Amino acid sequence: AEDGAVGLKASEQYNPDVIVSDVMMPNVDGLELCASLKNSLSTSHIPIILLTAKSAIENQIEGLQIGADDYLAKPFNFDLLEARVANLIDSRKKLREKFAGEYPIQPTEVTTNPKDQKFIERALEIVTENMADSGFGVKEFVEMMGISRSLLHKKLTGLTELSAAEFINNQRMNKARVLLAQNELNVSEVAYSVGYNDPKYFSRLFSKTFGQAPKEYANNHIIEG
């Protein structure tokens, strides 16, 4: 993109894995670009590296304060830039893996800024409150989040690599895993507790997710007390 204005439109359109931007640009400079992207729900999750000829610490602090994820002073070593890009992408991947593997998850552990944290907190709250309702699905999720279906999908895949349907199922399966380990409910009761009216379907889905049938999982993962 030849300037920040074009960069803003491209970021909305393509949802890139990472953005590398010069600070000194016509129309919309890099700091304005960064602030706009980090203040928009649709792009706040995208990592940003700012490049500038200004190496003063004050300029670096300003960039980081408005949400930049990294900062390089020009002239810079291209191998170093590649390494920083790879590191940001890898760190986001680890956050997504952490989300998929832990339950319950703390939003602060899988987000890097307040806007994304608030989004994940709200999404988790809604799914948790409606988990036992077998009629709760993507349509209801979208309505309760108060955003468009496309934006919900964009944010969830950007932060967790899960679609809205997968996000709901992920939370249901992980809750079921905890309930089974507590060994207080049978498999059918656990299925109903997390919104599945068909225990056989629940068992197949659980086995596919965790590689063990619910009863087998319960026997192997008993939580004492």
- Give pLDDT tens digits for 25-36: 998 999 999 999
pLDDT digits (tens, 9 = 90+) for 62-105: 878 889 999 898 888 999 999 999 999 999 999 998 888 788 89
SS3 45: coil
| Residue % of the chain over a pLDDT of 90 | 77
Name the nearest CA neighbour of 91 among 49, 153, 53: 49
pLDDT over threshold 60, residue 141: yes
Given a cut of 80, is residue 167 above it in pLDDT?
yes
Separation CA 52–CA 22 (nearest Å): 6
Per-residue pLDDT, averaged over 136-156, amounts to 97
pLDDT: is 198 or 54 the higher one? 198
- pLDDT score for 225: 43
DSSP conformation letters of 56-83: -HHHHHHHHHTT-SEEEESS--HHHHHH
pLDDT of residue 213: 96
Give the integer Cα–Cα distance in Å for 193 and 212: 19
> What pLDDT score does 223 carry?
62
How many Å is the Cα radius of gyration of the chain?
Answer: 21
Tokens of 168: 């709901």
Length of the chain: 225
Query: Would you say 214 and 225 are in contact if contact means Cβ atoms under 8 Å apart?
Result: no
Q: Is the pTM of this model over 0.75?
A: yes
- Between the CA of residue 187 and those of 48, 190, 194, 214, what are the distances in Å? 46, 5, 11, 7
Which residue, among 110, 127, 142, 148, has the nearest Cα to 194 in the 3D structure? 127
pLDDT value, residue 76: 87
3-state secondary structure (DSSP) of residue 71? strand
User: 52 phi and psi, to 5 degrees?
Assistant: -155, 150
Q: Reduced to 3 states, what is the DSSP secondary structure of residue 89?
A: helix
